[in-house]
């Protein structure tokens, strides 16, 4: 027998032995499993006897299996991290270490920005300095003479033992804003047509009312603003989609009921409903009157509804003199907020023609009439006031330019309200300081100097 044949026979014998050992181990495992299933409670106390060849097969097989598993198994989770994981871990640790430093830098930047804003406001207000004169009692002659801001007359009076002197104090305003003129008349928006409008028209009307408040709030000549019949869907939109901003409006009266109509205001003609169906034309806005503007967007579905309501209530009606001063390429159609803005412009300019030209959108191509007043009147004059008829791009909530302009006006109003509140707080603090100084000077004993 050759050496190659002996080697092949030896390898075959080894394979047969390994197969026999593996088969024996499998049988032993199955028998053990059956025993465990049959006696689950006695598993801990049961011992399995194996023959010497089986034990040898198990002991010889286990090292081979474990060696193969240890070589081919992937890295455990608690093993060494990869380079990318280490880099990521170092970056996170570095970010956490510098978190406090970043916060400190951001806080410092905010302080510097606030200080820069304060300095800018001080520089702007340095040119708008107002001097106020306050008379307070002096305690003695020396204090009166040493007072650097005392006037010459006050110092002379103190030298003669006068009990008081004139002290000039200086107060500065953050920003110069002329005080608006409040005229004694009321612009009332009648919102009693809620049931006649579609949801889209309700959205449009809420935007127009917001614009009315913004125009009146920012105008140098203001009127009292009143909104009646604010209920149902319009009120729900202002409380939800508009976040109750109307509750922060200043100098505006809200009512869920209709405006009151009494025999007294009917007889006196204090209530005037603006509608283009009226035969009377306004020449001026009178003090003490209430001008009612119909709050409705209806695409001309309900013609003359404002005029009919005024006739049923027995109150006076009138229309703006737009046809006497302006000619346009389209119909004379104005939204609710445009009517209010025209009246505010008239209070400021006292000129209907200028008021119309400043308010009417340029896309309508408004032009002043040439010649006598009323020339060309009648042609193309349909609906003017109160929103009884709306063009396709007027107040329907789809005109992006008007929506953006409305948002800008509201932002201006909010800033104006915040500045006014800050000025009121400053005024109260200044008044308190002056009052404390006056009280302190009064309580000090006065020394009478004999001549």
The tokens for 151 are: 């006037």
For residue 135, report the phi and psi dihedrals to the nearest 5 degrees: -95, 125
- Identify the H or E element spanning 210: helix 199-218
**If DSSP codes are grouped into helix, strand and coil, which group holds residue 288?**
coil
Strand 252-254 relative to strand 181-190, pairing: unpaired
Rounded Cα distance between 341 and 359, Å, is 7
Residue 185 and residue 182: Cα distance in Å, rounded?
Answer: 9
Helix, strand or coil for residue 167?
strand
Residue listed under structure tokens 């400190």 = 104
293-297-300 Cα angle (round to 5): 105
How far is it, in rounded angstroms, from Cα 113 to Cα 110?
A: 5
429 torsion bin: left (phi>0), alpha (psi -120 to 50), beta (else): alpha
Tell me if residue 298 is catalytic: yes
DSSP run (H or E) holding 135? strand 129-137
Give the whole-angstrom CA distance, residue 274 versus residue 291. 7
From the CB of residue 123, how many other CB atoms can be counted at a distance below 10 Å? 9
List 194, 215, 298, 394, catalytic entry: 298
Q: How far apart are CA 251 and CA 318, in angstroms?
A: 26
- What sign for the dihedral angle of Cα 402, 388, 261, 221? positive
* C-alpha dihedral, 375 to 376 to 382 to 385, nearest 10°: -30
Catalytic residue ranges: 298
């Amino acid at each position: 027998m050759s050496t190659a044949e002996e080697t092949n026979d030896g390898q075959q014998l080894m394979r047969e032995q390994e197969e026999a050992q593996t088969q024996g181990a499998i049988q032993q495992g199955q028998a053990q499993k059956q025993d465990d299933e049959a006696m689950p409670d006695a598993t801990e106390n049961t011992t399995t006897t194996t023959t010497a060849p089986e034990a040898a097969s198990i002991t010889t097989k286990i090292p081979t299996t474990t060696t193969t598993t240890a070589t081919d198994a992937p890295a455990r989770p608690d093993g060494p991290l990869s380079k990318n994981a280490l880099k990521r871990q170092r970056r996170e640790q570095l970010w956490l270490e510098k978190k406090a430093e970043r916060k400190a830098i951001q806080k410092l930047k905010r302080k510097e920005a606030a200080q820069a804003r304060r300095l800018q406001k001080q520089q702007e207000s340095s040119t708008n300095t107002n001097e106020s004169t306050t008379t307070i009692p002096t305690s003695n002659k020396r204090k009166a003479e040493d007072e650097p801001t005392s006037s010459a007359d006050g110092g002379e009076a103190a030298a003669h033992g006068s009990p008081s002197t004139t002290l000039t104090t200086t107060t500065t305003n953050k920003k110069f804003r002329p005080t608006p003129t409040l005229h004694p008349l009321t612009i009332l928006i009648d919102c009693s047509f809620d049931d006649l409008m579609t949801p889209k028209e309700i959205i449009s009307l809420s935007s127009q009312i917001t614009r009315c408040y913004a125009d009146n709030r920012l105008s140098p000549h203001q009127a009292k603003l009143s909104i009646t019949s604010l209920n149902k869907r319009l009120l729900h939109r202002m409380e939800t989609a508009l976040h109750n901003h109307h509750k922060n409006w200043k100098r505006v009266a809200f009512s869920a009921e209709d405006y009151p109509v009494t025999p007294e205001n009917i007889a006196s003609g204090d209530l005037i409903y603006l509608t283009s169906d009226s035969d009377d034309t306004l020449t001026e806005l009178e003090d003490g009157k209430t001008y009612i503007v119909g709050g409705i967007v209806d695409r001309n579905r309900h013609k003359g509804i404002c005029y009919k309501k005024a006739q049923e209530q027995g109150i006076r009606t009138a229309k703006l003199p737009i046809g006497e001063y302006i000619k346009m390429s389209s119909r004379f159609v104005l939204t609710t907020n445009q009517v209010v803005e025209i009246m505010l412009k008239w209070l400021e300019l006292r000129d209907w023609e200028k008021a119309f030209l400043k308010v009417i959108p340029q896309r309508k191509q408004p032009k002043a009439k040439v010649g006598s007043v009323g020339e060309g009147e009648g042609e193309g004059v349909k609906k003017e006031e109160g929103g009884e008829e709306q063009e396709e791009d007027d107040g329907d909530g789809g005109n992006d330019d008007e929506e953006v302009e409305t948002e800008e006006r509201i932002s201006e109003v909010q800033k104006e309200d915040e500045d006014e509140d800050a000025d009121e707080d400053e005024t109260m603090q200044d008044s308190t300081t002056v009052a404390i100084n006056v009280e302190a000077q009064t309580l000090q004993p006065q020394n009478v100097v004999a001549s």
